[in-house]
Amino acid sequence: MENKVRPIFLILSAPSGCGKSTLIDMLLQEYPDMEYSISCTTRAPRGEEEDGLDYHFLTVERFRELIAEDAFLEYAEVHGNYYGTLKEPVVDVLKVGHTMILDIDVVGAAKVRHYVMHHLPPEDPLRAGFVDVFINPPSLEELRRRLEGRGTDAPEVIERRLANAEGEMARAGEYMYQVTNDDLGICYRTLCDLIDVKSERM
Ligand code: 5GP
């Protein structure tokens, strides 16, 4: 599976609590040539999260320095914190023929999509392998149940995430593909099928 596949540049977006992290962990186990883009954020680590593994946890000052240095492929303010994807690691991974997976919000995804489609030539690896997917929760009620069950966020944070979810779901139509995570196994297989077709593994 390692060779002769087209490297893909995969963006996954979903409201928090949709199972996106679980799906990404499963994909990373399945595809040895897939790498996860570690985002920068100014939010505090949650639960067992580790710096440099789940996120690069930065101060607002450091994040703003990186904005000034034009180091980000995209960045956005989500739930009151900055989140951003550094350019260099993404380009480096695609250059060696590996697949890059980005977990970013709808605002960041729109910026990357615009950049890829309007500023890159068709043969550029970032454009040739570009795929974006929005993962929908089965319903907002189910999403609330999952966020509360996770037990990692304060009630006001959960309310903010749910309010955000509605806004994000309203923009799901901007993505090439939408998948609903009402059954983890089915949702996962659908993502694998998309990846296999796009990267010509079949
Ligand atoms: P969380 O705080 O739950 O880890 O992430 C909150 C939101 O930020 C999620 O929707 C996630 O996709 C988004 N996010 C994570 N990293 C990035 C990034 O680098 N850029 C953008 N635009 N959004 C991100």
pLDDT per position as a tens digit, 61-99: 999 999 999 999 999 998 889 999 999 999 899 889 899
- Closest Cα to atom 14, ligand 1: which residue? 104
- pTM listed for this prediction: 0.90
pLDDT in tens, 171-199: 999 999 999 999 999 999 999 999 999 88
What would the mean pLDDT of 96-107 be, rounded to a whole number?
94
* DSSP letter (8 states) at residue 174: G
Question: Is any atom of ligand 1 closer than 6 Å to the C-beta of 109?
Answer: no
168 CA: nearest ligand 1 atom: 10
Residue whose structure tokens are 């928090």:
16
